[in-house]
Chain A
């Protein structure tokens, strides 16, 4: 039987099974693609969360420690120099030496290495806050070294040999765990400290302050300039070749790789204008140029959405063009512009590459106070930490990412809410 003997209807019916199968297949591909995208999102968030949630707790050892005035060489509590320079770290070491009785130098060194270098500062802080504590025995939660921290949070109970701790150290730890002195608490250090080489003392406060100052500069510059540019292009610009070039240029600029803005910042702001490197000021300038296209584009859309009848009514009542725009169009377009600005700010918040070029990658321990202090920002801090080999830094990197994502979620939600609440549909 050849095909020519079949009627068209028979041909079509014969092919239907194949066509239906291909229809189902096509549909499944589409569904699989969407699911793949969402799966990536879930895996990414899950991975970060599973690595990072433990960054928010910190292992501490509850210790009763005698603040020996003789050992600290503090004779009078009014002697500030002595209070500042006393050997608090030695005091802590001494305390553990007498308590745990390590045998030999090697064990002693192992014992000391389990306590964080910040333990001495903790004692110092207590004493500076209340000098009457000298000569008394206080109970204090001492921060433990990151190796202990990791062991207690992850390896404790499943001895797979992955820990870097020795037999002797594990013995002491077990005794502390048994007595209940070793426990975890909320990791405030992570939020109040600047960067540090010691993972257990490293925090994101410096980076967060830097981010805040940088974004402040960005907002103060990019919002007014962006709104002004949007107003000009939408309301005043003559429709000519020049305006067209400006428009094309803005669209292109929105898609230029962010790293080239860093090159501009380095060559022009730093080398020619002499703005100092690593500061929120220069970071804010670079991010302003980067976010401007986003703000201008969304601002123009918001102005375009204001119906012409509003303008005509104002003009009809004798308002000048400028009065029409500033008294009537702009207030109505402002919510839309704000939404665009928040989205632009969210972009700037997550931006890393251009800031590396302008030196915001420096290791900064101090929390910056003003826009011309050296500082770093949260994404760059993440980049810096992710390079550190310590397991505790991986955990803190993920923790910092969670904080960063938290801010982004807040900003984007704010943009959505603002749009729903304030934006009028005409």
Chain B
């Protein structure tokens, strides 16, 4: 039985168990028993105990089935393959899987035994799985149903289970962070066993090709990530050069000067910019802005790369404007009116008040907003993947082509992946750097923004 059938069976069991439990409680109550909880509580209790264990088992089964099957299958492979190394075993296993799916495929005779075994194994596990799940459903149903008695505290039990489920849901967010950290850390450590961290962090040549044959020359692969870091910084700097002044001035104008009807139109319009998918910006940057810049550069006699950092940076800046403006808008609005009134009372003009009172008072919040925007720029992927290049040039010239950390992660991981080659693992090392840097930026920025908000509350 496959997962969707079993899932549907569990869902049907959920409804049935609820009704059965509720009706039993009702029957008992109608016979004159004084029940501790409402009939629905008994129904819910039976439903929970009937469905939760099989669901958990299904999940575990889904996680471990392939690994266990592959392990058993490896034992069935001919000796020669098993001793040949991990890569050969994996290749043989995938062949066996294909063979089992489609018996008409011409087989290498030494694998047909394993394929037959796999078919047999799959049939048996499927049967076993269905049997165990159904047994669990009925066991849960029967045992809990029998426990329904007038003095049984069903409500308390249901509530404590539900509370645990609620807790588990909120723990998923933490598990996600740990999952990200674990996944990048684990692969990154494997990478650093092959390439020294010093070379990775301070090397200035990035060419992640690895030799196909051991005796091949000239493409041993070098993993110096400095050009990627500088490229990321260059594009982010261009983006911030656009986004910070424009976003900040727009926020000031909208919160201090604009009439309320202007504000009502302009604020959502600016926020639309934040809702546009980044792939759209990437398309815009690659097909409209980059050629335009190249054209202008040529008329001005400059040598502009067709994948210039400027195009990607400019468009990224446009994307980030609303982040800066709406976050700054919040902090500017949080500055109490009394500070402004005090300034006006001393004879300051509106712009003087903004520049000398409001902005300094809001500065920590604005710094936080800018930091969040920087982290956004560093982690932005699609715009740079489409509009920036792949060449890892170590340059500060915005008209040149540079590459970024995110672009390299995408390039290294799209297509064939081999989890024992430094080329694939390098992506995770870059991911680790990216995660740590953005997490640190976010952490500090969120702290600053929160601390600042509390000051005037």
Residues of A in contact with B (beta carbons under 8 Å apart): 12, 19-20, 22-23, 25-27, 29-34, 36-38, 40-41, 44, 47-48, 51, 224-226, 228-229, 231-233, 236-237, 245-246, 248-253, 255-264, 266-268, 271-274, 289, 292-293, 296, 320-322, 346, 349-353, 356-357, 361, 379-380, 382-383, 386, 394, 397-398, 401, 404-405, 408, 412
Q: How many Å lie between the Cα of A397 and that of B284 in the bound state?
A: 11
Give A390 Cβ to nearest chain B Cβ, in Å: 13
Assess whether A30 is in contact with B279, with CB atoms less than 8 Å apart.
no
**Residue in A25, A245, A251, A405 whose Cβ sees the most chain B Cβ within 10 Å:** A251
Interface SS majority for chain B: helix
Contacting residues, chain A, for B379 (C-beta < 8 A): 256-260
Please tell me if B360 contacts chain A, counting CB pairs below 8 Å. Answer: no
Contact B438 A256, beta carbon cutoff 8 Å: yes
A-B contact count (CB 8 A): 271
Task: Tell which of A229, A273, A346, A350 touches B279, judged by Cβ atoms closer than 8 Å.
Answer: A350
Bound Cα distance A91, B345 (Å): 89
Q: Pick the contact of B413 from A29, A357, A401 — CB < 8 Å?
A: A357
A138 and B62 alpha carbons, distance in the complex (Å) = 54
* Interface assignment of B414: CB less than 8 Å from any CB of chain A: yes
How far apart are B203's CB and chain A's nearest CB, in angstroms? 22
Taking a contact as CB atoms under 8 Å apart, the answer to whether B159 and A320 are in contact is yes
**Is B253 in contact with A34, judged by CB distance below 8 angstroms?**
yes
Contacts of B375 in A (CB 8 A): 255, 257
Residue in B170, B256, B258, B409 whose Cβ sees the most chain A Cβ within 10 Å: B170
Distance to closest chain A CB from B407 (angstroms): 10
Q: Mark B370-401, 1 if CB is under 8 A from A, else 0.
A: 00100110111110011000000000000000
Residues of B within 8 A of A404 (CB): 277, 280
Q: Which 10 A-B pairs have the closest CB atoms?
A: A257-B379, A30-B253, A350-B277, A267-B183, A228-B169, A26-B351, A353-B381, A33-B249, A232-B166, A229-B170
Within 8 A of A (CB), among B3-39: none
Nearest chain B CB to A173 CB, angstrom units: 27
A257 and B184 in contact (CB under 8 A), knowing A23-B351, A36-B246, A232-B169?
no
- Give 19 A-B pairs besides A231-B166, A263-B428, A351-B277 with Cβ atoms closer than 8 angstroms: A25-B351, A30-B253, A34-B253, A37-B325, A38-B270, A225-B169, A236-B166, A246-B174, A253-B177, A256-B439, A256-B442, A257-B376, A260-B431, A264-B183, A272-B63, A273-B63, A350-B276, A356-B414, A357-B409
In Å, the complex CA distance between A86 and B350 comes to 81
Decide if B166 touches A229 in the complex (CB within 8 Å): yes
Chain A residue at minimum C-beta to C-beta distance from B4: A370
Enumerate B308-346 residues with CB–CB distance to A below 8 Å: 318, 321-322, 325
- How many angstroms from the CA of A382 to the CA of B287 in the assembled complex? 13
Q: Which residues of B contact A26 (CB under 8 A)?
A: 350-351, 354-355
* B175 to A: closest C-beta gap in Å: 9
**Is B278 at the interface (CB under 8 A from chain A)?**
yes
The yes or no answer to B443 lying at the interface (CB within 8 A) is yes
B253 touches A408 (CB 8 A): no
Instruction: Give the distance to chain A from B196, nearest Cβ to Cβ, in Å.
Output: 22
Which residue of A48, A252, A273, A357 is within 8 Å of B177 (Cβ)? A252
Which of chain A's residues have a CB closer than 8 A to the CB of B414? 356-357, 361
Please provide the chain B residues from 88 to 129 with a CB less than 8 Å away from any CB of chain A in the complex: none
Within 8 A of A (CB), among B410-428: 410, 413-414, 417, 419, 427-428
Q: Are B269 and A38 in contact (CB under 8 A)?
A: yes
B427-457 near A? 1/0 per residue, CB < 8 Å: 1100100110011001100100000000000
Asked if A245 and B174 sit within 8 Å, CB to CB, the answer is yes
**Cβ-defined contact, B406 with A259, below 8 A:** yes
A12 to B277, CA, bound (A): 52
The answer to whether A257 touches B166, judged by C-beta atoms less than 8 angstroms apart, is no
Chain A residues in 8 Å Cβ range of B183: 263-264, 266-268
| Contact yes or no, A382 B283, CB < 8 A | yes
Contact status A252-B442, CB under 8 Å? yes
A278 CA to B275 CA, complexed, in Å: 25
Write the chain A residue with the least CB distance to B378.
A257
CB contact under 8 A between A19 and B252, given known A259-B409, A352-B278: no
Contact A255 B442 (CB under 8 A): yes
**Alpha-carbon separation in the docked complex, A15 to B322 (Å):** 36
**Given A30-B253, A47-B288, A352-B382, A274–B67 Cβ distance below 8 Å?**
yes
- In angstroms, Cα B177 to Cα A194, docked, is 36
Assess the A33–B284 pair: CB atoms within 8 A: no
With beta carbons under 8 angstroms apart, the residue of A25, A33, A320 that contacts B245 is: A33
| B186 interface residue per 8 A CB criterion | yes
How many whole Å from B127's CB to the nearest CB in chain A?
20
Q: Which residue of chain B has the shortest Cβ distance to A40 in the bound complex?
A: B318
B179 adjacent to A268 (CB under 8 Å): yes
Contacts A/B (CB < 8 Å), 13 sampled: A33-B253, A34-B266, A37-B246, A37-B318, A47-B284, A246-B170, A248-B446, A260-B379, A268-B179, A268-B183, A292-B176, A350-B278, A397-B283
Chain B residues positioned under 8 Å from A361 (CB to CB) = 414
Contact assessment for A263 and B409 in the assembled complex, using a CB-CB cutoff below 8 Å: yes
Q: Give the interface of B toward A (CB within 8 A).
A: 62-63, 65-67, 155, 158-159, 162-163, 165-167, 169-174, 176-177, 179-180, 182-184, 186-187, 245-250, 252-254, 256-258, 266, 269-270, 272-273, 275-284, 286-288, 318, 321-322, 325, 347, 349-352, 354-355, 372, 375-376, 378-382, 385-386, 406, 409-410, 413-414, 417, 419, 427-428, 431, 434-435, 438-439, 442-443, 446
Contacts A38-B269, A274-B63, A346-B275 given; indicate if A263 touches B431 (C-beta within 8 A).
yes
Does A22 lie within 8 Å of B351, measured CB to CB? yes
Q: Could you tell me if A236 and B163 are in contact, using CB atoms closer than 8 angstroms?
A: yes
Cα A263 to Cα B424 with chains together (Å) = 11
A residues in contact with B438, CB < 8 Å = 255-257, 260
Question: With A40-B318, A397-B283 in contact, is A408–B277 under 8 Å at CB?
Answer: yes
Q: Of the candidates B276, B347, B352, B355, which one forms a contact with A44 in the assembled complex, judged by CB atoms under 8 Å apart?
A: B276
Q: How far is the CB of A109 from chain B (nearest CB, A)?
A: 31
Q: Which chain B positions have C-beta within 8 A of A293?
A: 173
Interface centre among A26, A32, A224, A268 (most CB of B within 10 A): A26
Chain B residues, Cβ within 8 Å of A261: 180
Complex contact B184–A267 (CB within 8 A): yes
- What are the residues of chain A within 8 A of B280 when measuring CB–CB? 44, 48, 350, 382, 401, 404-405
| A353 adjacent to B173 (CB under 8 Å) | no
Complex: A335 Cα to B446 Cα, angstroms: 27
A251 touching B180 by the CB < 8 A rule? no
- Contact between chains at A273 and B62 (CB < 8 Å): yes
Residues of chain A lying within 8 A (CB to CB) of residue B177:
249, 252-253
Minimum C-beta distance from B220 to chain A (A): 25
A30-B176 in contact given A353-B278, A356-B414 (Cβ < 8 Å): no
Residue of A22, A34, A44 with most chain B CB atoms under a 10 A cut-off: A34
Question: Smallest Cβ distance from B44 to chain A, in angstroms?
Answer: 11
Min C-beta distance of B414 to chain A, whole Å: 6
Residue of A nearest to B437 (CB): A257
Known: A251-B446, A352-B279. A258 touches B381 (CB 8 A): yes
Distance in angstroms between the alpha carbons of A260 and B176 in the assembled complex: 11
Q: How far does the alpha carbon of A251 sit from the alpha carbon of B176 in the complex, in Å?
A: 13
A228–B166 contact, CB under 8 A?
Answer: yes
CB-CB < 8 A to A34: which residues of B? 250, 253-254, 258, 266, 270
Least Cβ–Cβ distance between A86 and chain B, in angstroms: 26
Q: How far is the CA of A258 from the CA of B409 in the complex (A)?
A: 12
Q: How far is the CA of A11 from the CA of B260 in the complex (A)?
A: 36
Cβ of B413: which chain A residues have Cβ within 8 Å of it? 262-263, 266, 356-357
Contact, CB under 8 Å: A259 / B254: no
Docked CA distance A47–B174 (Å): 42
A228 touching B279, Cβ below 8 Å: no
Contact B349 A19 (CB under 8 A): yes
